[in-house]
Homo-oligomer: A and B are copies of this chain.
Amino acid sequence: MKNLIAYFQQSGFTSGEAQGVADLFKTKTFAKGEHFLEEGKTARHLAFISRGLFQFYFLKDGDEHTTYVVGENNFLASLSSFISQIPAKEYVRALGDGEVWQIHFNDLQHLKNHNAKFQTFYIGVLEHLLICIDDSRHKLIALTAEERYEALLDEEPELLQQIPLQYLASILGVTPRHLSRIRNNIR
Q: Is residue A165 within 8 Å, beta carbon to beta carbon, of the partner chain?
A: no
> How far is it, in angstroms, between the C-alpha of A142 and the C-alpha of B60 when the chains are bound?
8
- The answer to whether A84 touches B123 (Cβ under 8 A) is no
Q: Is residue A107 within 8 Å, beta carbon to beta carbon, of the partner chain?
A: no
Q: Is residue A136 within 8 Å, beta carbon to beta carbon, of the partner chain?
A: yes
Interface centre among A113, A116, A137 (most CB of B within 10 A): A137
A contact residues vs B (CB 8 Å cutoff): 58, 60, 65, 67, 79-80, 83-84, 89-90, 112-113, 116, 119-120, 122-123, 126-127, 129-131, 133-138, 140-142, 173
With A65-B142, A142-B60 as known contacts, state yes or no: A80 contacts B131, CB within 8 Å. Answer: yes
- Partner of A126 from the list B80, B123, B136, B173 (CB cut-off 8 Å) is B123
- Partner of A137 from the list B112, B122, B131, B137 (CB cut-off 8 Å) is B137
Q: Can you list 13 residue pairs at the A/B interface with Cβ under 8 Å? A: A65-B141, A79-B131, A80-B134, A90-B138, A112-B123, A119-B119, A119-B123, A122-B123, A129-B130, A130-B133, A140-B140, A140-B141, A141-B173
> How far is it, in angstroms, between the C-alpha of A187 and the C-alpha of B123 when the chains are bound?
47
- The answer to whether A58 touches B127 (Cβ under 8 A) is no
For residue A79, which residues in chain B have a CB less than 8 angstroms away from its CB? 130-131, 134
For residue A89, which residues in chain B have a CB less than 8 angstroms away from its CB? 138
With A112-B123, A129-B130, A130-B130 as known contacts, state yes or no: A138 contacts B67, CB within 8 Å. Answer: yes
